[in-house]
Structure 1
Amino acid sequence: MRLLFPFYIVSILWAIPAEIFIQGGSWTVIVKNFILAISPAQLWFLPMLFWIYLVFYFFSDFIERVPIHTILALYVILYIGKLFLNRYVPLNIFQISVSIEYLLYYYMGFLFRRANVAKNSRMKDCAVLISAFILEVIFLLLWIQVKNRFLIDLIQPLVCGFQVAAVLTISRIFRAEKLSVFHTFQKISKNSMGIYLFHQQILYASMKIFTNFSPLLFVAVNFTIAFGVSYGITVILRKGKVGKLMIGESNDLKFA
């Protein structure tokens, strides 16, 4: 519920009003994007994580017991089946289709944590990073040149999987966990959920107001405004029970 509460509350009180008054969205768009959660702006990751958490909650023992190659084989079957079924059934409703793809990335994080951030050899690290770079270049070239969307979708988890592995490798090499000792990092991390939940609609507004800038200044100004305002909103909301419920920090519905 700490995923679904923020999705519905932020949609109703924040994202939908912004869609109507800033973007000029129609009620047809509202129903499609938010009620059916087909394209709910930045909130898409909440229903996506909800489905993934359900899968790992009910199948955690199975995932622990079964060899990695078996899990990957099952994922390939599931993902290819999703691509074919998606032609006839709207699996993108409530982010089900995206959830199937992201199962792989969540599983990679699960393996990374289970391995207790074990060190690889320098050669393996280089192989991961180089492979991720080469695959990304190939994927971008195919994206530009190939019109067959099915082929792009088919190889996307492989490419993204290597990107995830590369990010995890870089974080381990540079020991990203050391950032946690910095006060600024702790403050941002503590409020990161709210920052993400509110930032996009602030960008909608600021990008309509602050337009006559050079590209670099345009990005800097709008990033600063979106980050600062969403951070401030989150800090205020975290002071009360309703606010904590809104950003997923509490399941407590008792306000007495």
Structure 2
Amino acid sequence: MKRQRQDIVAIRALAILLVMFGHSIILYSSSWNVYGTTQSAPVLDAVKSVIDVLQMPLFFSISGFCLMFTMQSGHRIVFIRFVLDKVKRLLVPFLIVGIGWLVPIRLLLGYLGYENKPLPYVLIYDFLIGFDNGHLWFLPSLFLMFIVVGGLIEISALWNKYERLFEGMLIAVAFGLYMTALCVPAITFIPYMGNVCRYFIFFALGFVIHRYEDALHMHSRGSVLAGVLTLLCSCLIIQLTGITKNGIGALVVGAAMVLAMYMVVPDRYIQISQPISKDSLGLYLFHSPLLYISFTFWPNISPWLMVTINFVGFGLCALLLTELIRFLRLGFVIGE
């Protein structure tokens, strides 16, 4: 068996921690108004603006990076088998956690977005179609990306120079989808397609980073320094320009930050990253809905107490719940 890439383990752990921390402080973001608070936290607002540009591009890039492992396995990728595997890993958790965790918690807490809506409308329009399913939009969006990837693999398999042709088509499709998102705003009204168009380019970036990592001299002293400087400059640019997660500016800065992360994170064993990376999907699935508790009952407490409750307290709850599900051999709930 090939050695597990410890840099990817650490990046996956870091990515989920960024997502969890971003969700934990979203109450203080100037761009979010679902729940209100009398507290002001400019530092947390600034941190959230940086996380918004990086978190999802980094997550999608990991999927693209890991696709290279699949393509290098020596086994021909069969489209139907490929898609069915993604159904198991992405759509099954989406349905189970959405119907059995997210929606019930929102209903019990009197979530305003569901007010005066019948349950069938909530389940079909808000949850399944995706107009208000919280953080779970990521899973169907990634699934649709894999449908596109599977199709490109099938096409490229008909020709010689399999990897090179696939890479060219992947990049072309990624840029085409991103330009569609910029030029055709109405694409966002098609369920999940706005997210696919906006983030597929980062999936492709992860694949390209993996393919050319030797040429990029990943983890050399010079690349680490360049990565650190890129991250610092990117944070400064985000704060000075007010870049959001959309637009050409966000694409350039987000791509630079993603590349920098792969340069900075070392390919060596880091103990703390192992359980976090292993349970990353469970943490993603279970953590965010718990935050509605604190946003509903204690919106005006000290921001730092809110962060402690949300990030540490509910983070540990999500981690324990993930481990419990695995212990009970219900791994299908978390895509295993």
Q: Which residue of 2 aligns with 1:7?
A: 94
AA at the equivalent of 2:238: E
Aligned to 2:301: 213
Q: Helix, strand or coil for the counterpart of 2:327? A: coil
* Equivalent residue runs for 1:97-176 within 5 Å: 97-116=194-213, 118-119=216-217, 125=227, 128-129=230-231, 132-133=234-235, 136-137=238-239, 139-140=241-242, 153-155=246-248, 158-175=249-266
Offset of 1:44 from its aligned partner? 1.0
**Deviation per residue, 1:16-68 (Å, 9 max, x gap):** 11121112523344433202123311111100110111112221364932497
1:40 aligns with one of 123, 127, 133? 133
Give ranges in structure 2 of 5+ residues lacking alignment. Answer: 1-86, 157-161
Q: Note if contact 1:105-1:161 (Cα within 8 Å) is conserved in structure 2.
A: no
Distance 1:68 1:139 in 2: 33
Distance 1:126 1:9, change over 3 A: closer
Structure 2 CA distance for aligned equivalents of residues 139 and 191 of structure 1: 35
**Deviation at 1:211?**
4.5
Identify unmatched segments of 5+ residues in structure 1. Answer: 144-151, 250-256
**CA shift at 1:239, angstroms?**
1.7
Distance 2:233 2:149 in 1: 28
Assess, with a 3 A threshold, how the Cα gap between structure 1 residues 164 and 89 changes in structure 2: closer, same or farther.
Answer: closer
55 and 131 in structure 1: CA distance in 2 versus 1, 3 angstrom threshold: farther
Is 1:196 paired with 2:284?
yes
- Could you tell me which amino acid in structure 2 is paired with residue 53 of structure 1? F
Q: Per-residue displacement from partner, 1:132-166 (whole Å, max 9, x unpaired)?
A: 3565346516x6xxxxxxxx9442xx523432432
In 2: Cα distance, 1:168 partner to 1:185 partner: 20
- Residues 185-230 of structure 1: CA deviation (Å, up to 9, x unaligned): 2122211211110111111113334445321122112222210111
**What is the alpha-carbon distance in structure 2 between the residues aligned to residue 238 and residue 108 of structure 1?**
32
Name 2:144's counterpart in structure 1: 51
Counterpart secondary structure, 1:221 = helix
- Structure 1 distance, partners of 2:166, 2:125, is 40
Q: Say whether the 8 Å CA contact 1:128–1:162 is kept in structure 2.
A: no
Tell me how far 1:113 sits from its aligned partner: 1.4
Residue identity over aligned pairs, in percent, reads 26
Distance 1:9 1:59 in 2: 30
Q: Deviations over 1:116-137 (max 9, x none)?
A: 3632655965785576356534
Is the CA contact 1:210–1:222 (under 8 Å) kept in the aligned structure 2? Answer: no
Say which is worse superposed, 19-28 or 199-208, in terms of deviation: 19-28
Aligned partner of 1:14: which letter?
W
Q: Larger relative CO (CA 8 A, sep 6+): 1 or 2? A: 2
Q: For residue 95 of structure 2, give the secondary structure of its aligned residue in structure 1.
A: helix
The TM-score with structure 2 as length reference comes to 0.59
**SS class of match (1:87):** helix
Q: How many residues align?
A: 232
1:68 and 1:9, CA in 2 relative to 1: closer, same or farther beyond 3 A? closer
TM-score normalised according to structure 1 size: 0.75
